[in-house]
Amino acid sequence: MSSEWTRWREQVLDTAARLDEIDYFRLLGCPPDPSPATLRTCFRRLATSYHPDRYRQVDPVLYTALETIYRRITEAYAVLRDPHDREAYSAGLSQGFVRFDRARAHELLERARQTVEPGQTEAGRRHYQQACAARARNDRYTAREEIRMALLFEPSEPQFLILAEQLKGG
């Protein structure tokens, strides 16, 4: 076997060993916010190059490594092509999670949203936002009514309770 083949084989084995350290964008070789066409191009290029069936008869160790890489490439493509999963993955990536776990990633995304926008329900968030807007325009009556409505949907939301306390009285 040629030295080029040996180098490529070692690179594949090294990549397979380090997969848990490589984020999906780097794995696919695409920019952090790729267009659907760019994402598809990156995936197809890698899928044809690293498809394990091309090397089944050549080397069983290489085949196993390629199979692992191919599964991860497919996983990365599936996550990044879905806008909601990509947003959740990016939120998890900023927290240091390289691999996508749908439940954990969506939880991190929701937590990040709550720091900007408190509330668990759409109706609770809507009434909270309307209360804040009414407060900003010095309409205390409407602000109190809106926060009261928000608390009907989410009686224990800390930010709602803080605003309600601030709106009490005169």
Instruction: Determine the Cα–Cα distance for residues 119 and 31; give it in Å rounded to an integer.
Output: 33
Q: pLDDT averaged over the chain?
A: 88
The pLDDT tens digits of the residues spanning 140-158 come to: 999 999 999 999 999 999 8
Cα 44 to Cα 50: distance, rounded to the nearest angstrom = 10
pLDDT at 116: 65
Range of the domain at 126: 122-167
- pLDDT tens figures, 94-133: 778 888 877 777 677 777 666 667 888 889 999 999 999 9
Residue 62 tokens, joined: 């290489």
Check whether residue 70 and residue 87 sit in a common domain. no
Q: 157 and 95 in one domain?
A: no
pLDDT at 124: 92
* pLDDT, greater one: 109 or 83: 83
Q: Tell me the C-alpha distance between 138 and 141, whole Å.
A: 9
Q: What is the pLDDT of residue 115?
A: 62
**Judgement on whether residues 130 and 102 belong to the same structural domain of the protein:** no
91 and 134 belong to one structural domain? no
Q: Which of 81, 108, 136 is the last residue of a domain?
A: 81
Pick from 56-65, 75-84, 103-112: least confident: 103-112
- Same domain assignment for residues 1 and 76: yes
- Which residues are within 8 A (CB) of 43 and not within 5 positions of it... i.e. 6 or more apart? 28, 73, 76, 77
